[in-house]
Amino acid sequence: MRSIIKKFVTTFAAIALLVAPSAVLLPSAVHADIRNNVCRGVNSTGGADPDSTDCSEQDGESFSELAKKIINIFSIVVGTVSVIMIIIGG
């Protein structure tokens, strides 16, 4: 009888530990406005006009285009390094 209760408590605790973080993290991910948050963060550090609260699209590249270029360059670098490591490692 004790082993059954012990298994039940252990199972319940494991499920609670797995479910609890998702209950906390999911609502924040749903309400995230990444572009606006990055823009406000850059403005607050003085990367742009610190008094400006305007985070609308400006002339030039959008944030998504910049992110796409950074990811593509990073992928090329990682691919090149991995091929070199495979050649060296044999």
- pLDDT the model gives residue 20: 67
Give the pLDDT of residue 23. 62
Dihedral of alpha carbons 71, 54, 42, 31, sign: negative
Look at residue 75 in the predicted model and tell me its pLDDT: 94
Q: Which tokens sit at 2? A: 């004790």
Give the pLDDT confidence score for residue 28 in this predicted structure. 56
Residue 90 confidence (pLDDT): 77
Tell me how far apart the alpha carbons of residues 31 and 38 are, in angstroms, rounded to a whole number.
14
In the three-class reduction of DSSP (H, G, I as helix; E, B as strand; rest coil), residue 73 is classed as helix
Residue numbers in the chain where pLDDT is lower than 70: 19-32, 46-61
